[in-house]
Amino acid sequence: MKEEQKIILVSAAGGAVLWTIDALFDSAMFPKGPSGSSLLPGGMHEFFMRSLLLPVFIVFGVLLSGFFAKRRRLETALRDNEIRYRMLFENAGDAIFILEAEGENAGRIVSVNKAAAEMHGYTVDELLSRNITDLNAPDAAQEIPARIGRLLKGEWFKAESRRRKKDGAVFPVEISAGTLELGDHKYILAFDRDITERKAVEKALKESEDKYRSVMESVGDSIYLVDRACRYLFLNKKHLARLGLEGEGYIGRAYGDFHSPEETNELSENVETVLKTGETIQHEHLSLRDNRYFLRTLSPVKDVDGYIWAVTVVSKDVNELKQLENKLRNLSFTDDLTGLYNRRGFFTMIEQILKLAKREKRGVFLVYADLDNLKAINDLLGHHEGDQALVQAVAILRATFRESDIMARIGGDEFVVIPMDSGEDNADVIKARFQKNLIGHNERTDHPFTLSISLGMAYYDPDSSCSVDELLRRAEKLMYDDKCLRKRLKSN
């Protein structure tokens, strides 16, 4: 029946009620005289009906119209809300379940959206005939009764579980659930999210972290991480042992809690340099705690926006090399022209280096460099320019290698370099850096000659029985191969 028809019927009923009231009012207020007529004149009675009861009819009709108009608006709003929430329910990206909460049917699926059906490989109709335990892996299904009990106590919980698809495939989900009361009946409202991708990412991150930690713990160097205020964020086992610490009680502790003010200031200044420049730096450090020399490498740790939030410090014990260096310096095992070790100094040094490499199971490179055409420069331009060519060649080598690397002049135009801590896969990087520095020098120089340097690199395997002479011969041969190759390229 339409709302307008309802209003007419109600108004008619209201009119009948008012007519009855009028009749009763007449009998009470206007009793009949002996002749049976009203004691009041007829005109006054009509006036009374028009002035009192007619407005009552009008007001009553207006009130009824307002009541039904408001009801119609409420029903329209409820219908719109139902449509809106139904759209949200059906189009939600997460799976939504409404389950029976009590009785022998507890866990039975009452309502479910399309996302839930697609997630589990069923149709909506197929899910409506099942219990939620049917969608769980066997071990996860055993937890459902206890979880329903928690929900009935008013707890809203969030947990991870394992679901099973129609084809039997098991996948991880994150569940958020609570109770929903409609009248006197309780239901469970549950939201499920497939977290397969998230779990895969977490697994990959954990594997990456485990590999990183394994590397950090297996190396023989001290490695630690400090924040911008020089508070410890991480220490590997080697550095923990140096500090005499165990566990992770050091997290958040200041570097100065374990070192002297002088050492703390030294580290703070170097950390500040890394924070300002964003570059990796190296410096030699004498540890007062260990009374040993260390070569420290400080590198920035940046977030995705490039902000430096921490600094990694790798501290390598170079005390033996430092002592050997001092010994060689005291014995004047250096070349007067270049300031490098001479041949005698080189052979004294390399014997110790190879022994250390063999003990630590660490490979070592030997770089053999030869200054091409030195005789021609001496003959055409004089020995002064020849000496300048040698000095410039050393400058290129120093720019290519680090201060901690061992360099020597073992002949008139021959040099050797032992890069410290360079793996076998770094050969191409070293060669590329050397060629870049050589080309850059020749582009800037104002000397009447162009430098040409041949390079050969031989690798020392700590598991081999290679001697110093054999390693040197291999590097020299590779250098001559490089010289011949460039001559052929130049002639073509």
The whole-number pLDDT of residue 392 equals 94
Are 413 and 443 part of one and the same domain? Answer: yes
207 domain-assigned: no
Are 332 and 368 part of one and the same domain? Answer: yes
Are 236 and 385 part of one and the same domain? Answer: no
Residue where a domain stops, chosen among 178, 194, 210: 194
Q: Look up the CATH number of the domain holding residue 180.
A: 3.30.450.20
Are 303 and 331 part of one and the same domain? Answer: no
DSSP state of 394: H
The whole-number pLDDT of residue 455 equals 94
User: CA 218 to CA 284: how far, in whole Å?
Assistant: 23
**451: closest CA among 464, 461, 438, 435?**
438
305 domain-assigned: yes
Are 333 and 184 part of one and the same domain? Answer: no
Are 248 and 331 part of one and the same domain? Answer: no
How far, CA to CA in Å, does 242 sit from each of 104, 221, 484?
65, 11, 51
The whole-number pLDDT of residue 302 equals 92
User: CA 286 to CA 296: how far, in whole Å?
Assistant: 10
User: CA 236 to CA 405: how far, in whole Å?
Assistant: 25
Are 364 and 237 part of one and the same domain? Answer: no
Are 225 and 165 part of one and the same domain? Answer: no
DSSP state of 211: H
Domain count, the chain: 4
Are 383 and 485 part of one and the same domain? Answer: yes
212 domain-assigned: no
User: CA 341 to CA 329: how far, in whole Å?
Assistant: 9
Are 186 and 254 part of one and the same domain? Answer: no
User: CA 177 to CA 172: how far, in whole Å?
Assistant: 16
User: CA 152 to CA 387: how far, in whole Å?
Assistant: 92
Per-residue pLDDT tens digits of the chain, which is 492 residues long: 445 444 444 444 444 444 444 554 455 544 544 444 444 455 555 555 555 555 655 655 556 566 556 666 665 655 655 555 555 556 656 888 888 888 888 888 888 888 888 889 999 888 887 898 888 888 888 888 888 888 888 888 888 889 899 898 999 999 888 888 877 788 888 888 888 888 888 787 777 666 666 655 656 788 899 999 999 998 888 888 888 887 777 888 999 999 999 999 999 999 999 999 999 999 999 988 888 999 999 999 999 899 999 999 999 888 888 888 777 766 678 888 998 999 988 988 888 888 888 888 888 889 999 999 999 999 999 999 999 999 999 999 999 998 888 999 999 999 999 987 665 557 888 889 999 999 999 999 888 888 999 999 998 888 888 888 999 999 999 999 999 988 888 776
405 domain-assigned: yes
Longest dimension (CA), the chain: 164
How far, CA to CA in Å, does 304 sit from each of 276, 295, 301?
18, 29, 10
> Quick one: tokens of 38?
């009203």
Inter-residue contact 195 to 174 (CB < 8 Å): yes
H-assigned helices in 175-233: 196-218
Range of the domain at 288: 219-317
